[in-house]
Amino acid sequence: MLALYNGRAMSMIEGQVYRCQNRDCGCEVRVIKPSIESNSNPRCSCGAEMKKPYKTPVLRTLDPDSEILAHFKTNQQ
């Protein structure tokens, strides 16, 4: 479905959680429908910028103990 956006870089991903940088606020929002026009972080209703509090688990594919890495080392010999 991402292909519908014609390869444009999106700053907001569906399901991504943003957290308000104002500690007194601490508001969190989840992206329901990504915007293709916005190229900056969203702003909270309190006026503070909202940022992604953590990386998406999808990006963590490499693990030092993974079988894929072990297989790669074997091929290097």
Count residues binding Zn ion (CB under 5 A): 7
Q: Least distance to Zn ion from the beta carbon of 23, Å?
A: 9
- In the region spanning residues 43 to 72, those forming contacts with Zn ion, defined by CB under 5 A, are 44, 46, 48
17 contacts Zn ion (rule: CB under 5 A): no
Spatial separation of the C-alpha atoms in residues 51 and 75, rounded to whole Å: 41
Residue 29: C-alpha distances to residues 17, 24, 42, 57 (Å): 6, 16, 9, 18
Spatial separation of the C-alpha atoms in residues 71 and 60, rounded to whole Å: 19
DSSP 3-state of 19: strand
13 contacts Zn ion (rule: CB under 5 A): no
Q: Least distance to Zn ion from the beta carbon of 26, Å?
A: 7
27 contacts Zn ion (rule: CB under 5 A): yes
Judged by the rule CB under 5 A, the positions of this chain that interact with Zn ion are: 20, 22, 25, 27, 44, 46, 48
